[in-house]
Every structure is written in C-alpha cells, then in structure tokens.
A and B are shown apart, each in its own frame.
Chain A
Amino acid sequence: MSSNTDFEPKIIAFVCNWCTYAGADLTGTSRLKYATNVKIVRFPCTGRIDFLLLLKSFAQGADGVIVSGCHPNDCHYTSGNFHARRRWIAFRSILDLMGVDIRRIQYSWVSAAEGSKWADLVNNTVADIRALGPYAEYQKVADYLEKEGYNEEA
C-alpha cells in the first residue's frame, strides 16, 4: 500500500479555537508551507468535539482525521482538553474493538505559538495516511443501502 502515488488523502482536522486554530493561523502568517490535504473545522474547545463527528468524517469520504487542541493546563476553559483526552482514550478503545482503523485518527496538542508543529503534524499525518491508502473499507460500508437487496451480506 506504500506506492499510492496518485492517492491524495482527504483529511479533516477538528481543532480548538484558542490554540490549534491560532497555531494553524501562525503557520500561514509565518509562510510555512505544508500539505494542502487538510480541511479545518474550528470548534470552541476540544471538549466540544463530539466523537461521532470523527466517524461521520470517514463516512463522508475522509481518509484521515486530525483532532487537536491546547496543551494540558492551557485550556481556555480550564479543563476542556482534559475531558476530551478522557473521551479519546475511551473512544479509541471502543473503535479498536470494533475494528475501525485508529491509526487514521491523529490526536495532538498544538498551541497558538506552535506554527511549525502544526505544519509538521499535517505533513506527517498526510504521509502516514498516504502509506495506509484510501479508507475504502469504511466508505464501502457507508453507502451500503444502495447495494442492499434483501438481507444480503456486504
């Protein structure tokens, strides 16, 4: 799967307003170049990112997901990122049990001052997902209904 040269991964990034979004902004104003495969969705806080959004991204065609917010102790709302971290631990455990490819979800802390970290994060994630290839396994199931006859197996 490493020779996916034509494959451009689609990546959705769920980021918090106060740290990572500002960090990504800094990447731009610092004129740092990074992969263009990422679409950013801004949230007030990582604590506000519903786990189901990550799954919805895959269902709608994303090959990878980035979730990023403030470093521990830096949350604008004091503990939003701590709650988020707990949720991710639980979510990863359940997804792994269900056989969802958790390598496709990259969690990170990127502060407002870490413009270059954001660029690295995106570049590394794109490289990882490129190596993994398209997440066809998930998308195949997403439009199952159209192929469904009576109780036919996938």
Chain B
Amino acid sequence: METKYINKSGIEQWFNAIVSSGKRVFAPVNSRGQVDFKPVKKLSEVADEYIQTTQSIKASVYPKAEVLFSYEKVNGKVNLTDFDPESVAETVLWKVHPCDAAGFKPLSAIFNWDTADKLHNAHLVKTSVISFSCAAADESCFCTSVNGSPGNTAGSDIQLTMLPDGGAIAEILTFKGETLVALMPNVFEADKGEKKEKYLVDLPTRFNLEEVNAKLNKAFNSTVWKEQSERCLGCGACAFVCPTCACFDIQEDAHGSKGRRIRCWDACGFAMFTLHTSGHNPREHQSQRWRQRILHKFSYMPERLSVVGCTGCGRCSRACPVDMNILEHITSIAKQ
C-alpha cells in the first residue's frame, strides 16, 4: 500500500490512459434523470453532483442475465459450449463508492461458499476498482453502522480522496491498482501528507451491529416482521439495486434442437421464489419473505460466511416505492 498525490490534470491524463489501454471503463453517468454506471470514454461524461447511483455496481461481476452454456444437437450429437472466462473483457470501474466496493466481499462469499463460481470469479479477476471516498452522504446512508466508512478501502484497488484543489490523495492498495498506476506513473506525485479523514463526510453510527445480531437471533417468531412488512408490495426493487443480493434463477432459452441456459437475477421477496412444484410455498406470506431478507443479511451471512450482507449504501430505501426504509427497520429492531 502506497499513498500518492495526483493533481487535477493528472487525473484526466491517467483516466485517458486507462481508456486508451483498451480496457472497458464504467463510471456513473447522469442520463434520463438518473445516475448509473455506464461505459464511458471521456472523463467529462462522468457524473459529478450525486449521492448515490440508482443501481449498485454488482452487475459488473454478476450480470443481470448471463449464459452459463449453450447447446446444439447436430446429427444426433450434442455440442456443448461452456462459458468461456476468456470472453470477459478487462474492466475498470471508476468512481465506485466504498459501500459498493465493500459489496464484492459478501457477493463473492455467496458465490464461492461451496463450489467456486466460474462466472462470477471470471468477472472478478478481470475487474479493477477505483473507488472515490465519500465527501457527502444522505439520510439513507449508514455504512458506518455495518463495518464500513466513507473512506473504507475494502474491495478497492485504488482509492481516491478528492481535494479542494481538484487533485486527489491516491491510495494504491493492490497489485491491480499498481498495474493501473503503471499506465501513467509520472502523474503520481509524492504524498503531500494531507490527512484523508479531513475530507470525508461525518456519518455517525446509527445502530450497533452486535446488538442487532443478538436481537435477530431471537426474533424469528417475532411479530415485528408482519408489522414492518404490511406495506411491502413484494416487488424486487430492493434486491435488484442491492450491491450484495445474489438470488438468481436458472432459465432455459430453448429453440428446437438448440438453446442456452441462462442465469438471471431473482429476488427472495418474490412470492414465486420459493414456490415448490407441488404448489406448497414455505415462504407463503410477504412477512416471511421480509424476514428472510433481513435475517439473511444480518444474521445468516455473518454466522455462516463471516461477512455482513449489507454495506449500508441505502439503495433499497431509496428505491422502495412504499418507503420500506431498512435503516429505520433495523434501528427499530435494535431498540426492541
């Protein structure tokens, strides 16, 4: 780990060098009134004034829909074409928030908990993360309550902290980060000794994670789930914008003697998600599905995968059509 300084024009030169190296660069772009990650070629395309992108960066390592393999029957013989890890392009994610970068760990923990997931890992290997520490937050943000912080470097290869002069403190954290720096090493100057913490937003802790965990361990049969989920409509908005939600569905796209098998996003909030062929549904009511969502993130994952399934990005609260505010709900559980 090395800390450097990079000035305003240096940032642009370096960005251009990354683009011209042939790597795909995704960055937050403001279009249609929303800020979301899109492929970019110029630094001027990158959005400036916003707190959070609508969607997380998870789709870069876990696409909305991806072909696992395809098949074709020719003259009685079946030709299988497996997913090719080499088909994944080298990707740089620019201006990722620390809460998004922190989402890679829980996501990978799920995808590798017993069998290593070839697809996810292929994306992960080819992806470099340049995060920007947060100088602003809104009322939905709570990273500091779930082991994160506005300057958290977990999951990042390089973290930039923007300075008033338009330059940045650059923390080069991994080998991948060094490789990116090597594309234009001369713009990285010696560290000026600026304290990063000075430029981070102050975000007080909103609840105690251990306390919540202890409460949740005894809450399976609590009435709180029904109370909280009454207004829940049962859509998948919260899960799809979440940086760590990993529920998926496997679907067949068959056309006569050929087809492909596709993995696509699904959500535990959908009534169909747990519906058995028999017609029985172990999570029949929305309250049970809401309980699953909360317990999975704050109890099952810490217990089984040693990582919290929430990074405090607050996207689910912002996306919810009926204001199912996760911070409010967790805080109220902690107070019970």
Contact = CB atoms under 8 A, between A and B. Distances in A.
A29 interface: no
A149 B91 CA distance: 11
Interface stretch (B59-67, B143-151, B162-170, B300-308): B59-67
Contact of A149 (B24, B67, B262): B24
Contacts of A150: 24, 26, 37, 39, 59-60, 63, 91
A5 interface: no
Interface string A140-154: 000001101111110
Interface residues of B, number: 17
Interface in B38-92: 38-39, 59-60, 63-65, 67, 89, 91
Q: Is the interface of B mostly helix, strand, loop or mixed?
A: strand
Interface string B86-106: 000101000000000000000
Contacts of B89: 149
A132 to B, nearest CB: 25
Contacts of A153: 38
Given A151-B36, A152-B39, A146 B59 contact: no
Contacts of B24: 149-150
Contact of B65 (A60, A148, A152): A148
B23 to A, nearest CB: 12
Interface residues of A, number: 9
Interface in B1-45: 24, 26, 36-39
Which of the listed residues A60, A145, A146 has the most CB atoms from chain B within 10 Å of its own CB? A145
Nearest to A60: B255
Nearest to A152: B39
Interface in A50-105: 60
Contacts of A148: 63, 65
A150 B24 CA distance: 10
B26 A146 contact: no
B67 A151 contact: no
Interface in A87-129: none
A152 B38 CA distance: 7
Interface in B195-225: none
B36 A145 contact: no
Nearest to B26: A150
Given A145-B253, A148-B63, A151-B64, 14 more contacts: A60-B255, A148-B65, A149-B24, A149-B39, A149-B89, A150-B24, A150-B37, A150-B39, A150-B60, A150-B63, A150-B91, A151-B38, A151-B39, A151-B59
Interface of B: 24, 26, 36-39, 59-60, 63-65, 67, 89, 91, 253, 255, 262
12 contacts: A145-B65, A145-B67, A145-B253, A145-B262, A146-B67, A150-B37, A150-B39, A150-B91, A151-B36, A151-B59, A152-B39, A153-B38
Interface of A: 60, 145-146, 148-153
